[in-house]
Amino acid sequence: MKSINLTFETGHIYGLLGRNGAGKSTLLNLINNRMFVSDGTIALDGHPIKNNEQALNQLFMTSEDTLYPGDMRVKKMWRTTQDFYGTFDWSFAKRLARNFNLDPNFKLKKLSTGNRSIAKLITALGAPTKFIFLDEPTLGMDATNRDIFYQALLEKFGSGDQSLILSTHLIQEVEKMIDHIFVIDHGQLIEDQSVEAVQSHAFAISGSETLIKEHIASSKIMSVEPFGKQYKVYVRNYNLADLPDSLHAESLDLQAYFVKLTNRGTF
C-alpha cells in the first residue's frame, strides 16, 4: 500500500472496489486502527485517530473475522455495541432480524455461516457511528438476504449524517446504490470519483484503427479490443462531445468499467 490519499464525508454510500488481493481489506484495517501505518496519517476531522478514543468511537467496521466469542448471544452483541458506542438502534436491529428471520437469542456459534454474517451486519447497521465500514458483507449470503440487506442500507444511509463504506465484488448489485467509488489496484488508489462522473465519462468506442488512433488520446484508454479491421477501445474521463461522427460510443455499466480499468490490455 503506497501513496494513498482519500477522504470520506458523511451522507454517502461509498463503494470500495478492487480485485482479489488488491489491498481493500488492508486499507480498511488501517483506517479502523486494526493495523498501523508505517508512514502517513489517518485522521477524523483533522485529528489523528491513533490513541484517540473519541475519533475511534465514530468508526465501526465489520469484516470476515469474528471478534466476538462464540458463546455470545446475538442480542448480547448488540448490548456490547451499545455499551461501547453509547447508543444502539434497537428497533431497527429487531426489525431487521425479523426480516432476515434471525433469532437474536441464538448464540453466535449456533448460527450458520450466512446467519452469523447477518448478525454482524445488523450489529453494524445498528451502530451509531458516523462511519460504518463493511468488508465483503454479503459473502455467503443468498440472493434474498442480500436484497433485504440492500433495502436496509438504503433506509439508513445515502442521506443524513452517517456514511457507509462498502467493499464488495458484486458490483452490478450495488452500482445504483453507491454514489462514489474508490478503486484500489496493486496497493494503489487508481479511481476516486462520483459514480455519476464515472458513468458519464466511460465508454466503449468503436471504429477503424486509424480513426481511433487519430482521435482518442491514449491516456484515456483503459483497454483495447481489436475486432477484425474494427477497433474497440474502452475509455475513461472521456468527453462525449469530443467524439467525431465517424466513431461510435456505447455507455458502460460499472462492472464493465471496473473490469477494463483493472485488467489493462495493450495497444
The residue from 111, 132, 166, 178 that contacts other proteins (CB under 8 A) is 178
**Span near other proteins by CB under 8 A; candidates 19-27, 39-47, 105-113, 175-183:** 175-183
Is 150 among the residues that bind other proteins (CB under 8 A)? yes
Cβ proximity to other proteins: between 4 and 170 the closer is 170
Q: In this structure, how many other beta carbons lie within 10 angstroms of the beta carbon of residue 95?
A: 14
Within 13 Å of residue 107, how many CA atoms lie on the same side as its CB? 6
Among 9, 65, 155, 214, binds other proteins (CB under 8 A): 155
Q: Does 176 bind other proteins (CB under 8 A)?
A: yes
* Contacts of residue 58, Cβ cutoff 8 Å, sequence gap at least 6: 44, 129, 130, 131
Residue 135: name the closest of 174, 112, 168 by CA: 168
Question: Rule CB under 8 A: is residue 192 a binding residue for other proteins?
Answer: no
Q: Which of 154, 190, 243, 259 binds other proteins (CB under 8 A)?
A: 154
In angstroms, the CA 78 to CA 119 distance is 9
Length of the chain in terms of residues written: 267
CB closer to other proteins, 10 vs 113: 10
DSSP class of residue 111 equals S
Give contact residues for other proteins (rule: CB under 8 A): 11-13, 150-151, 154-155, 157-159, 173-179, 196, 199-200, 250-254, 256
